[in-house]
Chains A and B, each alone.
Chain A
């Protein structure tokens, strides 16, 4: 499924300090928001690992602490993951919160697909699981969890979907990666890693639960100009 809107050409930004090795080939599936337009493995694209498994573990741990701090010990919190990779991330945050504070935070999933504003722009999307924990969302502090924050349109759709299930006291947003390029006035309350990217690139989050291993990769088009442009900034 091609998504031309997300792959318009532009200069490749410098990434600051990449944490991992460069130049590994991409393969396998990637996050919905991370780069749905990416062609299959080996189709002339280069990826580099920017977060390794240990980095992700430390980030999730820190985010769990931040959630506890900001919500006064996780009172009334409900974690809702946005499929696909927001769901295991929500479960990991819940597990860390339990380790630290001993509270069991209700965790579920929320599929925003039928509330998206781009349904008519591409082939029909399969629906994912929505699973609201018993006890619902009324009067709770709902924290939406996603892997990559990009345009903000997924989160906008998720807010609409959430409203159908009740009226939370507050809604917050936790993302593993904020890659910029917002198209809507949406910002995350908890950010694992700010990662400036070019629109040409895509961010691929891999999680053990869905992809067999933990990593965050930046995938760039494999053009001769790409490394030069990156180094020149």
Chain B
């Protein structure tokens, strides 16, 4: 394993499988009465969130607490950051407090990468701008493998706002590493430039792709990141790229419907599909805790090898 978890593009196949296998053992713990493990006792995990995110922060917090780490939540609102402190000064403050791991969410792509150069502990990217969200991709892969029994050779279709989606980027790299064939489906305006360099197929026609998909992953349309009009109306988007019951009926019988949340029901996914038996939305949340426990264990559980050369001040 690398010292940080910044991007799924950095993960080798054996690293990714180690995370999934470890998460499998962590998941078994949620079946027992005492869910707490002493493994990370005495280690400090800082949740550094510059963007609102209740579900990811809570998931990381629960994962760290189940492993007995001390958790400090540091959110931008109402902190020194809102008084104008720079990311670097925040990092040095955390460093002085002795954080063993920093879980960072930031609206700027690459912020966790910068942070990794300033702190001695491990940095876990919990979503940076439109770049990556590695633990979400790992929990998606974990969910697929648990439900369908394998990853190698599957066909996964990722639908929607790929342009603004760090979940899509992380999934593309991770799933490709794990032997999955990935197809992106989006309006042409929401397909990123440079997509031809990604290991994916691109389609603009959802109906043509669905019958050959083992998994369809719906993305939320991120209105808050949209600086221009990418499609005429929500209704038109929903008609062409939304997953309703009629469309879901064209999927193979075993196919899964996934969504990283938060869902906008009636926009990219209909309530009927979101609540159907093939939907893994709730499972994904539960699996998220197991996968984040696995990541924290693998990054913090072993010998603490601080490499002074990696710290660039």
Residues of A that sit less than 8 Å from B by CB:
111, 114-115, 119-130, 132, 160, 164-165
For residue B32, which residues in chain A have a CB less than 8 angstroms away from its CB? 132, 164-165
- In the complex the two chains form, what is the Cα distance from A12 to B117 in whole Å? 48
For residue B33, which residues in chain A have a CB less than 8 angstroms away from its CB? 164
Residue B303 is within 8 A (CB to CB) of chain A in the complex: yes
- In the complex the two chains form, what is the Cα distance from A130 to B37 in whole Å? 14
* CB-based nearest A residue for B67: A114
Q: Is the CB of A122 within 8 A of B303?
A: yes
Shortest C-beta distance, B273 to chain A (Å), equals: 35
- Say yes or no: A124-B302 contact (C-beta < 8 A), given A114-B297, A160-B38: yes
For residue A114, which residues in chain B have a CB less than 8 angstroms away from its CB? 37-39, 297, 301
Label chain A's interface by main secondary structure.
loop
Shortest C-beta distance, B44 to chain A (Å), equals: 14
Interface positions of B from 1 to 35, Cβ below 8 Å from A: 1, 18, 21-22, 25-26, 28, 32-34
Shortest C-beta distance, A157 to chain B (Å), equals: 10
Q: Is the CB of A130 within 8 A of B25?
A: yes
Shortest C-beta distance, A92 to chain B (Å), equals: 24
A-B contact pairs, 21 of them (CB 8 A): A114-B37, A114-B38, A114-B297, A115-B37, A115-B38, A119-B39, A120-B304, A121-B303, A122-B302, A123-B302, A124-B1, A124-B301, A126-B22, A127-B21, A127-B22, A127-B297, A130-B25, A130-B28, A132-B32, A164-B32, A165-B32
Residue B191 is within 8 A (CB to CB) of chain A in the complex: no
Number of residues from B at the complex interface, CB < 8 A = 19
Shortest C-beta distance, A30 to chain B (Å), equals: 20
Shortest C-beta distance, A154 to chain B (Å), equals: 15
Residue B62 is within 8 A (CB to CB) of chain A in the complex: no
Shortest C-beta distance, B300 to chain A (Å), equals: 8
- In the complex the two chains form, what is the Cα distance from A127 to B27 in whole Å? 12
* CB-based nearest A residue for B22: A127
Residue B298 is within 8 A (CB to CB) of chain A in the complex: yes
- In the complex the two chains form, what is the Cα distance from A164 to B68 in whole Å? 14
